[in-house]
Amino acid sequence: MSGTPTDPEPQLSVHPSSPPEPEGGLQPPSLLQPPVPTQDPPHTTQIQQTQNTQTQIHQTQIQESNPGLQHQVKAVWINHRRKLLLFGFSLCAVILGLIYYKHHNPQHRRTNQESKVTPCLSPACQWASARLSSSADPFTQPCDYFLSSCGSDRLSPGGRGRLRGQGIPGHPQNPKEETAWTERRGQSAERDNRGLREEEALDRKTVLLQYLRGILESNHSAGSAAEQKARGFFHSCLDTRSIETAGAEPFLTLIQKLGGWAVSGQWNRTDMNSTLSLLMRDYATFPFFNLYVGKDPNETPPGSTKRYIQIDQPDLLIPIEWNIRTLKSQANAQMLRPFLASCQRYLALLGAPPSSSMHHVWTFISLSSELAVAAAPLQHRLASGRLYERITLRDLQTKAPAIDWLSCLRAAFHPLPLTEDDHVLLHNSLYIQHMSRIISKWLKKHEPSTSPVHTFMVLNLLHTLMPALDSRFSDTENNLSVALGHTGGVAPRWKRCVLETERGFHSVLTHLLSERTAHREAEEIIENIFSSFKSKLHELNWTDAKSFQSVMKKSLTPRLWTTNETSTEAVIDQLFSEVTVDTRGFFSNYVQLLSMWQRRLSQLLAEQAEAADILSVTPILLGDELLFPMGMFVPPLFHPSYPRAMHYGVMGFRLAKDILHLILPDISSQSDTVLAVGECVWGHYLTVTEGAAFSLSAAQQQELWLQYSALKITLQAYRQSLRNDPSDTSISGLSHTRLFLTSFSQLNCNSDPYREFMPLESSFLITVLCAESDLCPAGLQCPNQTQQHSLHTC
Contact 784, 730 (CB under 8 A): no
Q: Is the dihedral of CA 392, 394, 398, 402 positive or negative?
A: positive
Model confidence over 450-498: pLDDT tens digits? 789 999 999 999 999 999 999 999 999 999 999 998 877 789 999 999 9
Contact 772, 223 (CB under 8 A): no
Contacts of 381 (CB under 8 A, 6+ apart): 387, 427, 428
pLDDT, mean of residues 290-316: 87
In eight-state DSSP terms, residue 330 is: E
Residue 283 CB partners (closer than 8 Å, separation 6+): 461, 464, 465, 591, 594, 595
Q: 23 pLDDT exceeds 50?
A: no
Element (H, E) at 155: none
Mean pLDDT of 311-326: 94
Mean pLDDT of 656-685: 93
Helices 225-238 & 204-217 angle (0-180, nearest 10): 110
Q: For 108-151, what is the HEC assignment?
A: HHHHHHHHHCEECCCHHHHHHHHHHHCCCCCCCCHHHHHCCCCC
Ramachandran class of 377: left when φ > 0, alpha when ψ lies in -120 to 50, beta otherwise: beta
Q: CA geometry: angle at 115 spanning 110 and 119, to 5°?
A: 110
Q: Of 172, 100, 99, give the one whose Cα is nearest residue 136.
A: 172
Q: Looking at residue 372, what is its pLDDT?
A: 96
The more confident residue out of 409 and 297 is 409
The confidence band for 201, taking pLDDT boundaries of 50, 70 and 90, is very low
Angle separating helix axes 519-537 and 698-724, nearest 10 degrees: 120
Q: Is the pLDDT of residue 213 over 90?
A: yes
Question: What pLDDT score was predicted for residue 450?
Answer: 74
Write out the CATH class of domain 271-468. mainly alpha
Q: Where are the domains of the chain?
A: 271-468, 644-780
Determine what percent of the chain is predicted with pLDDT higher than 70: 72
State how far the Cα of 223 lies from the Cα of 591, in Å rounded to an integer.
Answer: 24
At how many degrees (to 10) do helices 225-238 and 506-516 cross?
A: 110
Higher pLDDT, 576 or 155: 576
The count of other CB atoms within 10 Å of the CB of residue 668 is 19
Question: Closest Cα to residue 269, out of 278, 260, 281?
Answer: 260
- Dist. CA 671–CA 543, nearest whole Å: 5
pLDDT for residue 32: 29
pLDDT for 158 equals: 36
pLDDT band for position 223 (50/70/90)? confident
Give the residue ranges of DSSP H helices in 517-650.
519-537, 545-552, 569-575, 586-606, 644-647
In angstroms, rounded to a whole number, what is the distance separating the alpha carbons of residues 452 and 362? 10
Between 522 and 188, name the one with better pLDDT: 522
Higher pLDDT, 102 or 279: 279
Beta-bridge mates of residue 730: 119
Alpha-carbon distance values, 645 to 167, 574, 659, 738, 761 (Å) = 34, 43, 20, 8, 21
The whole-number pLDDT of residue 82 equals: 64
pLDDT on residue 80: 60
Pairing of strands 307-312, 320-323: unpaired
- 155 vs 502, higher pLDDT: 502
* Local structure of residue 316 (DSSP, 8 states): -
pLDDT band at 137 (very low <50, low <70, confident <90, very high): confident
The pLDDT tens digits of the residues spanning 37-76 come to: 334 444 444 434 444 444 444 444 434 444 454 455 455 5
| Spatial contact of 308 and 292, defined as CB atoms under 8 Å apart | no
What's the average model confidence in pLDDT over 696-720? 95
Of the candidates 325, 317, 361, which has an alpha carbon nearest to the alpha carbon of residue 340?
361
Amino acid symbol at 166: Q
pLDDT of residue 270: 82
Reading phi first (left if > 0) and then psi (alpha if -120 to 50, else beta), residue 170 is in left
Closest residue by Cα to residue 25 from 56, 66, 64: 56
The whole-angstrom separation of Cα 9 and Cα 569 is 104
Tell me: the pLDDT tens digits for 155-185? 333 332 333 333 333 333 333 333 333 333 3
Task: Lowest mean pLDDT of 171-180, 332-341, 577-586, name the range.
Answer: 171-180
- Indicate whether 190 pLDDT > 90: no
Provide the mean pLDDT of the chain.
80
311 or 192, higher pLDDT: 311
Phi then psi for residue 575, to 5 deg, are -65, -35
Residue 489: per-residue pLDDT: 78
Q: Which amino acid is at 288?
A: F
Segment 223-248 mean pLDDT? 95
- pLDDT, position 448: 65
CB neighbour list of residue 67: distance below 8 Å, 6 or more residues apart: none
pLDDT computed for residue 302 by the predictor: 65
Closest CA to 762 of 777, 750, 775, 776: 750
pLDDT value at residue 565: 57
In order of 138, 235, 342, the CA distances from 250 in angstroms are 56, 19, 20
What would the pLDDT profile of 702-712 be if each residue is shown by its tens digit?
A: 999 999 999 99
Among 16-25, 186-195, 349-358, 556-565, the range with the most confident prediction by mean pLDDT is 349-358
pLDDT score for 364 = 96
Instruction: Please check the confidence at residue 550 and state whether its pLDDT lies above 50.
Output: yes
Choose between 154 and 504: higher pLDDT: 504
Confidence of residue 775 (pLDDT cuts 50, 70, 90): low
Q: What is the CA radius of gyration of the chain?
A: 40
- Residue type at position 669: S
Predicted local distance difference test score (pLDDT) of residue 222: 72
CA-to-CA distance for 645 and 726, rounded, in angstroms? 11
- Which DSSP symbol is given to 29? P
296 in helix, strand or coil?
coil
**CB-CB contact of 577 with 489 (8 Å):** no
Contact 424, 391 (CB under 8 A): yes
Please report which confidence band the pLDDT of residue 791 belongs to, taking 50, 70 and 90 as the band edges: low
Give the pairing of strands 118-119 and 729-730: parallel
**What mean pLDDT comes out for the span 293-317?**
87
Say how far residue 508 (Cα) sits from the centre of its chain. 24
How many angstroms separate the Cα of 565 from the Cα of each of 506, 511, 513? 15, 11, 14
User: Strand pairing of 290-295 and 307-312?
Assistant: antiparallel
Other beta carbons within 10 angstroms of residue 63's beta carbon come to 12
**pLDDT tens per residue across span 516-530:** 999 999 999 999 999
Which residues, including other chains, have CB under 8 Å from residue 546's CB and lie 6 or more apart?
none
Angle CA 630–307–212, to nearest 5: 25
Confidence class for position 280, pLDDT limits 50, 70, 90: very high
**Once rounded to an integer, what is the mean pLDDT over residues 394-403?**
98
556 φ/ψ angles, rounded to the nearest 5 degrees = -100, 145
